[in-house]
Structure 1
């Protein structure tokens, strides 16, 4: 089989492959999908595996920004991994994913994430469970008590506001020292901001994206850097409480809105897990943010089934980190274990699950340096 870049001439075949994997797509959905993938074709971020002239598998590398302890870096978001039904069980999925990992590294991405349909194939390639999208279901009336505490200027968003929205995201996630949340590129944001069914509001330090979903209000994003703006945006959502029965919202695990509610008893929470992988150890360590007080020097050997085995010296202090090639013995991690550590999974968990072994004298320092509560608001 041949692996090559998807071209515009292949899109009908890719759509048929997606139909067989995920079910039918509406005509408007197909048109929106075509618009969204065209930039990926131009950037070499959509790969296909072909058996002669027939497409057997495809995978897309979405170009995202992801924050780790408030510091942004480029991230390869793997999406639309599809294998033709007649080719399943033949190693085709593993083959296309290996090609995707190689392409992501060549494009300069040091980390990657995906929402798995199944764990095994991705874990075998070095991905590990790291964080989740947290979706909470609340009575709409519970938001009535959230009222603006000051004068916040809000305006409606639309196509053309993507650059300003991205600037706001950098400000909000940087100030919160957030780990895990993502941002689309400017072209994709402008496409999403053209959705006529969404209510889109922007402030100087926050924004909201929400919509009706049947009798409920669905909140995709509400983020803000100040209490006044957060109250103003959630107040918008809560203003529908006289009609809406419930609010279904993607939130951070410690989202401030949960501490603004007058009443909290039993809550219905859906946790949609995502997996994460370090692609380039040196670049990933350098690009990540760290707690300013944390200090760590450790020798770490990483076993990677795709990129091979390597030993690194980690030096982390003052909020920055570096990984340089080294020799000697210290901690041994599979790349799955390193990816989980990078996402804040404690060393005790990694050792008990078999993802980490060796010298334990670095464990407390590693936990302090990589401490995180990773989450995403967006599903891709």
Structure 2
């Protein structure tokens, strides 16, 4: 970092910040994307490395709430992390991460940070654990047929323009968010970003479509957003080969969820369907008549970092009562290292420093991995990353576990 300057940017420097980010990610610098990002950008939470006045590395954080076991809690949404190829292997990323986490701790901001990684092998060395995964799949629409006993209701699906869809989509999402571990709250500016639909970012597909599921009394109980992309086979016998690109499917009732998928699978002239960022334990897999209909892949999604172990572990609730002393290992954020007594249950928790002997030894990275209740502590221990008696691992792991796999449907 000799002769380099690391500091937040001001708004006049945002175009250069965005240009560096776009170049590192191999994207064309577009005014539409810069404007979309500017709507949620927080310059006071940004970091940039300057070399002779030019931005060569970036990082940022957004102020959000993340639903954890127990409800929504403040989280630093780490984003816009990039290093120019001219400055690789010089420790810039490490310095950005260290400065960001140190600032969070010293300013007593969010005790937890979370991010989506551009590459899966980057962030564990900075103490981030893989806390949630996503299901991405493709299918022939004709195979997306629901079981005969799938729930059916009196509601109907209608297509509406974005401006009419927005308040209803917000209401459905807000109803689901507080109880769905992994969901992020969406302030108005984040909904603005969600509804932005510049043509140069559609990849040749249509504008975003909005489908609402409405009950006879007018209550909207679900919505789907999607695009279509048409292609035609060279043979007349094969005809249209269009694809339905599913983005969001959210519903507050099982019947609405089933109806939305039935609608999406039945769009004429589009026999293919894709879905990214889906839940790992998607109810759709239980609704399908043919469980092999989805050609699915599982990828990482949300990575979680406990910035302040004591505050972070005290911020969530626990499935069953737990009282354990943890010997936490944390080389990157050494203020977390040492022994902590965690006591909690479904109503709340405390986590304080203690001199009592430890029952388990675990890294901050792996505490981040189990923080949302996704991977279990038993699974982490099976990989050789937890020290302690098997019975203690099992009991503490049950306390950390969740009823459903965490799901974050939004890249930030």
Q: Does 1:14 align with 2:17?
A: yes
Give 1:38-49 correspondences, 5 Å limit. 38-42=39-43, 44-49=44-49
Give a deviation string over 1:340-360, Cα, whole Å, max 9, x none: 232332333323434322455
- Structure 1 gap ranges (5+): none
Give 1:1-380 correspondences, 5 Å limit. 1-25=4-28, 27=30, 30-42=31-43, 44-69=44-69, 71-105=71-105, 106=107, 108-143=109-144, 145=146, 148-151=152-155, 156=160, 158=162, 165-174=169-178, 177-195=179-197, 197-202=207-212, 204-214=220-230, 215-240=242-267, 242-250=268-276, 251-265=278-292, 267-274=294-301, 275-291=303-319, 294-304=320-330, 305-308=332-335, 309-330=337-358, 331-344=360-373, 345-372=375-402, 373-380=405-412
Question: How far apart are 1:89 and its partner, in Å?
Answer: 0.2
Supply the RMSD in Å over aligned alpha carbons.
Answer: 2.8
Question: How far apart are 1:104 and its partner, in Å?
Answer: 4.1
- Structure 2 gap ranges (5+): 199-206, 214-219, 231-241
Q: Could you tell me whether the CA contact under 8 Å between 1:198 and 1:210 is conserved in 2?
A: yes
Normalised by the size of structure 2, how large is the TM-score? 0.80
Q: Could you tell me whether the CA contact under 8 Å between 1:65 and 1:185 is conserved in 2?
A: no
Q: Could you tell me whether the CA contact under 8 Å between 1:210 and 1:217 is conserved in 2?
A: yes
| Distance (whole Å) between structure 2 residues aligned to residue 70 and residue 152 of structure 1 | 34
Q: Residues 201 and 104 of structure 1: is their aligned pair in 2 closer, same or farther, counting only changes over 3 Å?
A: farther
Aligned length: 372
Q: Residues 351 and 19 of structure 1: is their aligned pair in 2 closer, same or farther, counting only changes over 3 Å?
A: same
| Distance (whole Å) between structure 2 residues aligned to residue 271 and residue 229 of structure 1 | 26
| Distance (whole Å) between structure 2 residues aligned to residue 160 and residue 70 of structure 1 | 33
Q: Could you tell me whether the CA contact under 8 Å between 2:318 and 2:348 is conserved in 1?
A: yes
Q: Residues 367 and 216 of structure 1: is their aligned pair in 2 closer, same or farther, counting only changes over 3 Å?
A: same
Question: How far apart are 1:248 and its partner, in Å?
Answer: 1.0
Task: Give the greater-gyration-radius structure (CA).
Answer: 2
Give the secondary structure class of the aligned counterpart of 1:109. Answer: coil
Q: Could you tell me whether the CA contact under 8 Å between 2:309 and 2:364 is conserved in 1?
A: no
Give the secondary structure class of the aligned counterpart of 2:176. Answer: helix
Question: How far apart are 1:158 and its partner, in Å?
Answer: 3.3
Give the secondary structure class of the aligned counterpart of 1:17. Answer: helix
Q: Could you tell me whether the CA contact under 8 Å between 2:42 and 2:62 is conserved in 1?
A: no
Question: How far apart are 1:33 and its partner, in Å?
Answer: 2.9
Give a deviation string over 1:89-108, Cα, whole Å, max 9, x none: 00001111222223444372
Question: How far apart are 1:198 and its partner, in Å?
Answer: 1.0
| Distance (whole Å) between structure 2 residues aligned to residue 153 and residue 287 of structure 1 | 39
Q: Residues 9 and 209 of structure 1: is their aligned pair in 2 closer, same or farther, counting only changes over 3 Å?
A: same
Normalised by the size of structure 1, how large is the TM-score? 0.87
Give a deviation string over 1:155-175, Cα, whole Å, max 9, x none: 73635976764443342244x
Q: Could you tell me whether the CA contact under 8 Å between 1:159 and 1:190 is conserved in 2?
A: no
Give the secondary structure class of the aligned counterpart of 1:60. Answer: strand
Question: How far apart are 1:25 and its partner, in Å?
Answer: 2.2
Q: Residues 234 and 82 of structure 1: is their aligned pair in 2 closer, same or farther, counting only changes over 3 Å?
A: same
| Distance (whole Å) between structure 2 residues aligned to residue 163 and residue 282 of structure 1 | 38
Q: Could you tell me whether the CA contact under 8 Å between 2:157 and 2:260 is conserved in 1?
A: no
